[in-house]
Amino acid sequence: MAAKKKTAKKKVAKKKTTARKKVAAKKTAKKKTRVVKEKPKNAFYAQSGGVTAVINASAAGVIETARKHKNKIGTVYAGRNGIIGALLEDLIDTSKESVATIKALRHTPSGAFGSCRFKLKSLEENRREYERLIEVFKAHNIGYFFYNGGGDSADTCYKISQLSKEMGFPIQAIHVPKTVDNDLPITDNCPGFGSVAKYVAVSTREASFDVGSMAKTSTKVFIVEVMGRHAGWIAAAGGLASTDDTPIPIVILFPEVEFNQEKFLAEVKKKVEKFGYCSVVVSEGVHWPDGRFLAETGLKDAFGHSQLGGAATVISGMIQSELGLKNHWAVADYLQRAARHIASKTDVDMAYAMGKAAVEFAIKGHNSVMPTVDRISNKPFKWKVGMAPLSKVANVEKMMPENFITKDGFGITKACRTYMEPLIKGEDYPPYKNGMPQYVRIKGVSVPKKLKGKFEL
């Protein structure tokens, strides 16, 4: 860019020598001014909150689509470590990333640009942060704000679009849905959920086969703890491990259902008596009637370290001491949401489509919206991209419908299965080299800062 300006100056100098040239120079200058005026706005993209196996697929959708519309969108700048990258004016120039790198984002788990857990306060509480964002966007000629996250970031996105108008630097803010928690409203599901659901369903099936073959003389119960502090979407996916052609005795513990130790142990006992073994899928959010999480043991070990025992260890201890049944337990934690190697193809496709649609919406002039997955039919499974106004997305949490949990509180209904099965369908394996998946890392070239003074988070 600097080189071009120099050339322009030289040209202008030469042209000053004759009247005819002067006119020409004027015309050129005018033309140039016009070009500058029409120079397309840049875009800002950031990843927010807990990452998923497919959030980078959305990033690829955003960047690849923007690259196809260079007349409308200049450069996509990504926030380093999410929205704090914008606050700190720490921007990554995605135009420095190769075509191959951006393509490889589609099969790379985690947040390639860095994510963050940083919730902007309300406008009233901290207007300074919002103003800073718009100041940074203005400095870098950013007219598009693509925010890839869950409920909180939808809210931030909404506020940006409102405030930027007020501040006279209108920014088109589009939210790109992402969350393993599957709790955004309007959209059929949230990209990220399908893959974690597939991981949980596959892992539960595999471990159930394992415990089933050991049960005669050894382990009779297998317990796996999965994510989902507030909603049982992920735990429900454990139920998909059992199908008509491969039935498996599974007890699911949902955060939606108050934990009843007696009833639970009776259910485990019944299943072990009938099938010889059983599996338990327990959500990290399962709690006692008084609201305490099962996982909160409040214990310290001999060295004074807090015992961060999960719900699985509590369930395990209970089954051992009350039923005397040998059991094994696993806690999937990050493994479940990072497991790109077993991602759902449907989920990857949706994640990419959401990123792509976000850019297309922006180009069409939409603002303050979020692309959604709209389900058309279940059999065959068909869906299309829809659009939701952020005003209806922000601060609305979608809970699991009551009719997705069986009456006894330990299983999933047919309705739940009908909803969930298409979301785990299809495999989309990453490429491998020497037995290892080839995940990409970005170069992450910084955009030179334009603002003076430091911003304190």
Q: Which residues are catalytic?
A: 181
Residues between 71 and 100 with contacts to a second copy, criterion CB under 8 A: 81-82, 84
The answer to whether 77 and 447 are in contact (CB under 8 A) is yes
The answer to whether 445 and 96 are in contact (CB under 8 A) is yes
- Distance in angstroms (rounded) separating the CA atoms of residues 363 and 69: 8
- Distance in angstroms (rounded) separating the CA atoms of residues 66 and 79: 16
- The one among 123, 162, 209, 386 contacting a second copy by CB under 8 A: 209
Q: What are phi and psi for residue 157, nearest 5 degrees? A: -55, -45
Task: Find the helix or strand (DSSP H, E) in which 388 lies.
Answer: strand 382-389
Residues 6+ apart with CB under 8 A from 204: 224, 238, 241, 248, 250, 279, 281
Residues 6+ apart with CB under 8 A from 320: 326, 327
Shortest CB 320 distance to a second copy, Å: 6
CA angle, 83 then 85 then 89, to 5°: 125
Shortest CB 392 distance to a second copy, Å: 28
Our finding on whether 439 is near a second copy (CB under 8 A) is yes
Shortest CB 244 distance to a second copy, Å: 11
- Candidates 156-164, 199-207, 362-370, 446-454 — which segment interacts with a second copy by CB under 8 A? 199-207
Our finding on whether 454 is near a second copy (CB under 8 A) is no
- The one among 74, 114, 143, 177 contacting a second copy by CB under 8 A: 114
Residues between 323 and 342 with contacts to a second copy, criterion CB under 8 A: 328-335, 337-342
User: Which of 146, 361 has the CB closer to a second copy?
Assistant: 146
Shortest CB 71 distance to a second copy, Å: 32
Residues between 245 and 264 with contacts to a second copy, criterion CB under 8 A: 246, 261
Shortest CB 132 distance to a second copy, Å: 17
Q: What would the DSSP string read from start to end of 132-176?
A: HHHHHHHHTTEEEEEEEESHHHHHHHHHHHHHHHHTT---EEEEE
- Candidates 6-14, 123-131, 202-210, 407-415 — which segment interacts with a second copy by CB under 8 A? 202-210
Shortest CB 179 distance to a second copy, Å: 14
Residues 6+ apart with CB under 8 A from 254: 232, 235, 236, 283, 286, 400, 405, 409
- The one among 93, 131, 188, 210 contacting a second copy by CB under 8 A: 210
Neighbours of 223 (CB within 10 A): 28
Residue entry with tokens 């193809």:
345
Shortest CB 285 distance to a second copy, Å: 16
Neighbours of 188 (CB within 10 A): 17
- Distance in angstroms (rounded) separating the CA atoms of residues 365 and 171: 10
Across the strands, what pairs with 384?
374
User: Which of 223, 257 has the CB closer to a second copy?
Assistant: 223
Sign of CA dihedral 47, 53, 54, 59: positive
- The one among 109, 149, 177, 411 contacting a second copy by CB under 8 A: 109
- The one among 213, 395, 403, 418 contacting a second copy by CB under 8 A: 213
Residues between 409 and 428 with contacts to a second copy, criterion CB under 8 A: 421, 424-427
Shortest CB 336 distance to a second copy, Å: 8
Beta strands in 171-295 (DSSP E): 172-177, 221-226, 250-253, 278-283
User: Which of 168, 435 has the CB closer to a second copy?
Assistant: 435
Our finding on whether 188 is near a second copy (CB under 8 A) is no
Residues between 291 and 320 with contacts to a second copy, criterion CB under 8 A: 297-310, 312-314, 316-318, 320
Sign of CA dihedral 315, 320, 324, 328: positive
CA angle, 437 then 441 then 443, to 5°: 155
In terms of DSSP H, where are the helices of 218-303? Answer: 233-238, 261-275
How many residues line the site for a second copy (CB under 8 A)?
94
- Candidates 62-70, 127-135, 147-155, 206-214 — which segment interacts with a second copy by CB under 8 A? 206-214
Our finding on whether 362 is near a second copy (CB under 8 A) is no
Shortest CB 44 distance to a second copy, Å: 17
- Candidates 30-38, 64-72, 176-184, 205-213 — which segment interacts with a second copy by CB under 8 A? 205-213
Residues between 339 and 358 with contacts to a second copy, criterion CB under 8 A: 339-342, 344, 346
Our finding on whether 377 is near a second copy (CB under 8 A) is no
Residues between 15 and 54 with contacts to a second copy, criterion CB under 8 A: 47, 50-51, 53
Q: Is the peptide bond before 289 cis (omega within 30 degrees of 0)?
A: no
User: Which of 256, 428 has the CB closer to a second copy?
Assistant: 428
Our finding on whether 179 is near a second copy (CB under 8 A) is no
User: Which of 72, 341 has the CB closer to a second copy?
Assistant: 341
User: Which of 124, 456 has the CB closer to a second copy?
Assistant: 456
Neighbours of 387 (CB within 10 A): 16
Across the strands, what pairs with 283?
226
